[in-house]
Structure 1
């Protein structure tokens, strides 16, 4: 299972986040997603720990805790949802202008 950690400072590193969670058990993985276009951190991350008990302890202790000037949001990560992209038959969004074309707003 994975832990979602939100409202992170954009300057946080994987090592710093790992150190905070290591107080509650062994951290097996830390992931800090970056924006595809800019390469900048997105302000959230995921932490995996070796036991569910360690994850629960970290969530209980750190959810709402202030770190690096921000109140962290810490909870169990939910599985990624399928957004219904192009191959899934989902909508492209926007509004049709009546001539078969769509205009995105």
Structure 2
């Protein structure tokens, strides 16, 4: 089962997060998400546990747990969706139209 963990201390490491959850069962992976530009923790991560019963126990016991000075927010991770992030609205459909595209506007025509 995949577990979402928020409010992680910026000083915490993947290994420390894994050790915390291993007290409740077998952890197959633990990953704190890092900012691509600054390479600094974004304060949340994911823990994958092999057994769903152990995972549910870990969620129950670690939600609100004080870990390195911060109260963790722990719950079952929601499945990733294919929905586009943010915005939407007019002109963000990914289709040609509006500005340019094809030979609209006469840019590609020979006069």
User: TM tier, shorter chain?
Assistant: 0.7 to 0.9
Deviation at residue 92 of structure 1 after TM alignment: 8.2
Gaps of 5+ in 2: 92-97, 100-111
Higher-Rg structure is 2
Q: How many residues align?
A: 91
1:57 aligns with 2:51: no
Deviations 1:9-61 (A, max 9, x none): 00101111111100100100011111111111100010001100010010010
The aligned counterpart of 2:109 is: none
C-alpha distance in structure 2 between counterparts of 1:55 and 1:91, whole Å: 39
The aligned counterpart of 1:23 is: 23
TM-score normalized by the length of structure 2: 0.74
The aligned counterpart of 2:14 is: 14
4+ runs of 1 displaced by more than 3 Å?
A: 90-93
Query: What is the CA RMSD across the aligned residues, in angstroms?
Result: 2.0
1:67-86 mapped onto 2 (5 Å cutoff): 67-84=67-84
